[in-house]
Amino acid sequence: MPNSPTMYDHYQQTEGEATGTVFRVVGIGGVDGRAAAAEGAQSDKAAEVTLLRLTDGTGNREATGELRHVSRERLDRAFTPASDPSPRFELPDYLAGLLLLAGVALAVHPAGDRLGGAILAVGGAYLLWRRH
C-alpha cells in the first residue's frame, strides 16, 4: 500500500456515527501492534489498524481511551488524514494556571506573603474563569 498508515498518524472520520471525530493510529497489524505475519499466521489482523479517539465530533479533545479496530480498507474509505488537534488549553491558559499556582504557593509558604499570594491566586483564577 503506498499510503499505509504509520504510528501516530491522525485521521478524521468522514462517514458513520462519529463523523468529524479525530483518531490517532496507535497500532498497526495484529494484537498489540505485532503483525500477524510475524507470528507465522496470515489473517485479517495483519490488515487491521488500531485507532485511539482524540476528539468528539466538534473537535474538542476528550480523554476517553476509546479504541477502534478498523480494516485498512475501511480506513481508506471512511477516514481522511487529519492534523493533530489543538490542545484544550492554549498558552494564556497555561500562564493563568501558573499564576494561580504561584499565588497559592506564595500564600501557604511559611516565609511567603499571604496577601500577595492571595492576589496572584485570585488573579490567575479570574483569568481562567474569563477564558472559559
Q: Domain map of the chain by residue range? A: 10-82, 91-131
Task: Kindly indicate the confidence band of residue 38, based on its pLDDT and cuts at 50, 70 and 90.
Answer: very low
Return the number of other C-beta atoms located less than 10 Å from residue 74's C-beta: 16
Task: Kindly indicate the confidence band of residue 10, based on its pLDDT and cuts at 50, 70 and 90.
Answer: very high
Please check whether residue 122 is in contact with residue 112, taking contact to mean a CB–CB distance below 8 angstroms.
Answer: no
Per-residue pLDDT, 52: 94
Please check whether residue 4 is in contact with residue 15, taking contact to mean a CB–CB distance below 8 angstroms.
Answer: no
Residue 112: what residue type?
Answer: G
Is the pLDDT assigned to residue 1 strictly greater than 50? no
Mean pLDDT of 29-49: 56
Average pLDDT, the chain: 82
Backbone angles phi, psi at 81, to 5 degrees: -60, 145
Is the pLDDT assigned to residue 42 strictly greater than 50? no
